């Protein structure tokens, strides 16, 4: 398991970026499923709080292109399945966060 850094660093980051804190608290207050996703994948918070990723709607073509790229970079069937699962979790988190916020 990778380290997510010190608690003090994340606390200071949340204090310096109030919108990030608001998004995090909204997710925790609004959805147990999305909260569990963030607890299991803390690096997703960095990703889901990027406004350019959160706000625009993603087209089918955008997602298909992302999946093609993931498939090309996978080093086997097992890795492809893991990347596909991660992609699905991230997209569900993104969509859910948009709905909540």
| CB-CB contact of 66 with 74 (8 Å) | no
Cα(101)–Cα(90) distance, integer angstroms:
16
pTM of the model: 0.79
What pLDDT shows up at residue 16? 82
pLDDT at 4 over 70: no
Q: Summarize pLDDT for 82-97 with one digit per residue, the tens.
A: 999 999 999 999 999 9
- The residue that leads in pLDDT, 74 or 53, is 74
- The residue that leads in pLDDT, 46 or 11, is 46
**11, HSE (Cβ side, Cα atoms, 13 Å):** 3
Cα(88)–Cα(30) distance, integer angstroms:
20
What pLDDT shows up at residue 72? 94
């Amino acid at each position: 398991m990778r380290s997510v850094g010190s608690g003090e660093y994340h606390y200071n980051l949340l204090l310096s970026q109030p919108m990030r804190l608001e998004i995090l608290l909204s997710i925790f207050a609004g959805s147990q499923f999305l909260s569990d996703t963030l607890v299991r994948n803390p690096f997703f918070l960095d990703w889901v709080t990027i406004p350019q990723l959160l706000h625009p709607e993603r087209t089918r073509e955008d997602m298909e292109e992302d999946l093609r790229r993931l498939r090309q970079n996978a080093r086997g069937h097992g890795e492809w399945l893991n990347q596909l699962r991660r992609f699905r979790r991230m997209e569900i988190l993104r969509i859910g966060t948009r709905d909540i916020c």
